Amino acid sequence: MIERSETWAALLRQPIVPLFPTIALVMCLLAILGGIHLLFVMPAQDRVGRLQSEWKDARQRFVQHAEAKRTLQDLAEVLRIIPAKQGFVPLALGITEEAKRNNVKLPSLSYRVETPSGKLATKAIFEGSATGRYEDLRRFIRELELAQELLFIEDLDVVRADTQRERKVTFKMRIATYLRPEPGAPTRQSK
């Protein structure tokens, strides 16, 4: 036992002994720092991660909402361009008048109306044959394409072309447009 105490006494006389209080202080500070990290920093990091995830989700919902709003504005603009159902007859007469102005004969222009399942707009299709000189027919088609109303030339088939003195061309055409429902009319949306 005396040997052990002498060993300790010899160790305490060494130059390293004065560093023991500093080492003990550093160990205490490291323990306190570890405790602060466990009690405050880690929960705060978890909270920051959660908030970032929530922010990302909210931002994604905001972008989807903005896209939906833009889509509704675009749809309203398209519906504004589409003629109303009450404008259907004047539209057919306008096509006939345009044919006359361009020296194109449009003897019979038939039409049919297709209602899609969503009923947002009704599709109206005009069909008939047109006869005239190539230049006149070309001018007539151009005027249809530049019309204020939303018209689509869906099909254009040349039936015959007279290459003799009159140089007349006859073709069958199908023109489509969409008609918006009357204001106040019930619309059924598809599920």
Q: pLDDT per residue over 65-103, tens digit each?
A: 999 999 999 988 877 777 777 777 788 888 889 899 999
In this prediction, residue 188 carries a pLDDT of 44
User: 3-state SS string over the chain?
Assistant: CHHHHHHHHHHHCCCCHHHHHHHHHHHHHHHHHHHHHHHHHHHHHHHHHHHHHHHHHHHHHHHHHHHHHHHHHHHHHHHHHCCEHHHHHHHHHHHHHHHHHCCCECCCEEEEEECCCCCCCEEEEEEEEEEEEHHHHHHHHHHHHCCCCCEEEEEEEEEEECCCCCCEEEEEEEEEEEEECCCCCCCCCCC
The span from the CA of 140 to the CA of 131, in Å, is 11
Averaged pLDDT of the chain: 83
In this prediction, residue 1 carries a pLDDT of 57
Strand order in the sheet with 151-161: 109-114, 122-133, 168-179, 151-161
In this prediction, residue 54 carries a pLDDT of 96
pTM of the model: 0.55
**Nearest by Cα to 94 from 134, 139, 149:** 149
In this prediction, residue 166 carries a pLDDT of 66
